[in-house]
Structure 1
């Protein structure tokens, strides 16, 4: 197999591994919190963003961080607000931005959810190893293959 074919094969293997891990995390978040992975990711991004000095962010920035369109992100924010996980208000400094505040329920969800995600990813990676998935990629995911991505 030439270098280009190896690269494509590795990319496809990575895509399959990512899909399996993402599906496992999605199922677990839905079972335990009734949240989608994107909703949970939005909470983590919002937590990081609101922890900064300014306490606000543009929806386009949130959309970019979680990989959704602006309209899909607006709907996601509305769902989080309906579920009382966030509160929003128009930002006084700029009409294009929204002040977002995590509620105590969201902070508790994040506190409980992060270890759950870690455990789910670890368990899924172990299961994938037992199934004979690409060992180079799995070693990288386990972080026992060095600090950087696998060569090759």
Structure 2
């Protein structure tokens, strides 16, 4: 039973993630991970997070989040800053350009998510799971 439910969760996650990633790239020129990082940063105190904290919040390992931050910096969406108390601590800080892009992309994300879940809800293989998630 647990395996069946877990398989349904993983299938749903994969399907929804692919649709979200496609729409974010098509409409805003950013990947889903970039959008998720910008969301976390936009909601953070002072618009900044330690690299490790950002990695944990968006489900990436340290190496992947470092590459992600390099891409965001190259696009002018974030910048790096050092912790004043611990020069080894590195923060990622969202820029105004990053905030603007995140705000512009948010309706796309919400619409694509709702659409992907609506499609999954119409599929008998995932309808029960989607109904449970939406309650």
Taking structure 1 as the reference length, the TM-score comes to 0.79
Does the CA-based 8 Å contact 1:39-1:76 persist in structure 2? yes
Moved more, 75-84 or 59-68: 59-68
Write the distance in 2 (CA, Å) between the matches of 1:56 and 1:113: 19
| 1:48-127 to 2 correspondences below 5 Å | 48-51=43-46, 56-127=48-119
- Is 1:29 the counterpart of 2:24? The answer is yes
Q: Choose between structure 1 and 2 for higher RCO, CA contacts under 8 A separated by at least 6 residues.
A: 2
Write the distance in 2 (CA, Å) between the matches of 1:56 and 1:62: 9
Equivalent position SS for 1:95: coil
Query: Number of residue pairs matched?
Result: 135
Equivalent position SS for 1:92: coil
Quote the RMSD (CA, aligned, Å): 1.7
Moved more, 11-20 or 94-103: 94-103
Write the distance in 1 (CA, Å) between the matches of 2:88 and 2:31: 26
Write the distance in 2 (CA, Å) between the matches of 1:39 and 1:56: 15
Taking structure 2 as the reference length, the TM-score comes to 0.88
Extract unaligned runs of 5+ from structure 1: 1-5, 144-152
Write the distance in 1 (CA, Å) between the matches of 2:130 and 2:109: 17
Higher normalized helix content (fraction of residues): 2
Does the CA-based 8 Å contact 2:48-2:94 persist in structure 1? no
Deviation at 1:92, TM superposition (A): 1.8
Larger radius of gyration: 1
Q: 2:41 aligns with which of 31, 43, 46?
A: 46
